Chains A and B, each alone.
Chain A
Amino acid sequence: MSEATVSIADTAVDPPRPVAEAAGRIPGNIPIWVGILSEMTEFAMMFIALFIARAHYPELFHAGPLRLNTFAGTLNTLVLLTSSYCVAKAMQAIRRDARRACVRWLWMAVVMGGLYLVIKTWEYHWNSSQGIHTDTDLFFTVYYYTTFNHMLHVGWGSAAVLWAIAGVKMGTFDRENHAGLEAVAVYWHMIDLAWIIIFPLLYVWR
Chain B
Amino acid sequence: MFERFSIDHIWLFLMLLTLISAALAETATPGLLTTAAIATIIAIKGRMIIDRFMELATANRHLRFAMRLYFYVIPLLMVMTWAFPEVIARFTRLH
Q: Chain A contact residues (Cβ within 8 angstroms of B): what range? A: 35 or more
Given A56-B89, A74-B22, A87-B53, CB of A205 within 8 Å of CB of B35: yes
B33 at the binding interface (Cβ < 8 Å): no
Inter-chain contact B15/A81, CB cutoff 8 Å: yes
Distance A198 CA – B94 CA, assembled complex (angstroms): 26
Chain A nearest CB: distance from B17 CB in Å? 9
Query: Which secondary structure dominates where chain A touches chain B?
Result: helix
Compute the total of residue contacts between A and B using a CB distance below 8 Å: 124
Q: Which residues on A sit within 8 Å (CB–CB) of B24?
A: 204
Q: Given contacts A199-B21, A203-B25, are A82 and B11 in contact (CB under 8 A)?
A: yes
Q: Which residues on the A side are within 8 Å of B66 (C-beta)?
A: 37
Residue numbers of B with Cβ under 8 A of A are 7-8, 10-11, 14-15, 18-19, 21-22, 24-26, 30, 34-35, 38, 41-42, 45-46, 49-50, 52-56, 58-64, 66-67, 70-71, 74, 77-78, 81, 85-86, 88-89, 92-93
Can you list 6 residue pairs at the A/B interface with Cβ under 8 Å? A20-B60, A27-B54, A51-B81, A74-B25, A85-B53, A91-B55
